[in-house]
Amino acid sequence: MALPETIFKLLKPRRKASGSELTREAMANIPRHVAVIMDGNGRWARKRGLPRYSGHYAGAENLREFCKWCIEFGISYTTVFAFSTENWQRPQQEVDSLMKLFLEFFARYEEELAAEGVRLRFCGETGELPQSVQDTMQRAEASSLQRNKLQLIIAFNYGGRREIVKATRDLLASCKAGELKPEELTEEHLSARLYLPDVPDPDLIIRPSVELRLSNFLLWHSAYIELWFAKVLWPDFNRHHFTAAINDYASRQRRYGGLSKEERG
């Protein structure tokens, strides 16, 4: 990937900090699936007097580091929000640079991802993407099928509402075909028609930057998800922040509408 040398220099200080370690409680309660809204790339670049695409390149470099932390901590799945269905509204030059970055990321890190045991998967309206991007997705999925250290799921041209509408349309088609009766429909029927029905719901969503919202990300899957926000832009999100998120997650009680052990007496 043609990552400008300036960005490498800016990222090096971030990598030197090893950060805190996982608590015993966290090591016993590692989330199976962590999702990330990779927010703040453009602002990161603007603060440094760089063009917005430089921030996206820095964010891609940080994703590579993030995958290593997930493997180190024993996390099985991570879903990252790379490009939303709303991002087409951005300037054409920025959209084009994001598509180019997608292609360059896999060209640069294909061998490294293979060595790390990372399986690549994608969710979203991928059929609407440029053919070169679709071809790269297909190759990445096919070549990484047997890897089992980490499933990296990239939400690209993804929208949570669009996913639910797509699943609902599939359900309506099944009802129309007589395969299901409307009164028989359950949550499981809809879940089975989402983009990647075999992937478990995330346990934790992390959002760097100062925004405190889901932004149309994994809406169906987030009914009982834990949220963690960091006041740091994604390219500056480091192992210390990730460790803090996992430690905090492990300290919470996930009751799913029930009672805690203390409340049950």
Catalytic residue among 29, 87, 216, 247: 87
Check residue 265 and give its pLDDT: 60
In a domain? residue 183: no
Active site residue 41: no
**CA dist list (Å): 121 to 27, 86, 246:** 26, 21, 23
* Rounded-to-integer distance, Cα 55 and Cα 42, Å: 5
CB neighbour burial string for 49-64, b if at least 16 within 10 angstroms, e if fewer: ebebbbbbbbbbbbbb
- Is the distance from CB of 71 to CB of 24 less than 8 angstroms? no
Check residue 18 and give its pLDDT: 46
How many CB atoms neighbour CB 72 within 10 A? 12
Check residue 257 and give its pLDDT: 72
Check residue 5 and give its pLDDT: 53
In a domain? residue 235: yes
Check residue 254 and give its pLDDT: 79
Active site residue 87: yes
In a domain? residue 211: yes
Check residue 1 and give its pLDDT: 41
In a domain? residue 70: yes
Check residue 235 and give its pLDDT: 97
Check residue 261 and give its pLDDT: 64
In a domain? residue 168: no
In a domain? residue 178: no
**What's the number of domains the chain is made of?**
1
CATH number, domain of 112, equals: 3.40.1180.10
In a domain? residue 214: yes
How many CB atoms neighbour CB 231 within 10 A? 9
- Across the 265 residues of the chain, what is the mean pLDDT of every consecutive 10-residue run? 50 51 96 98 96 95 97 98 96 94 93 97 97 97 97 98 98 96 96 98 96 97 96 97 97 76 64
In a domain? residue 173: no
Structural domain boundaries, residue 58:
30-159+203-246
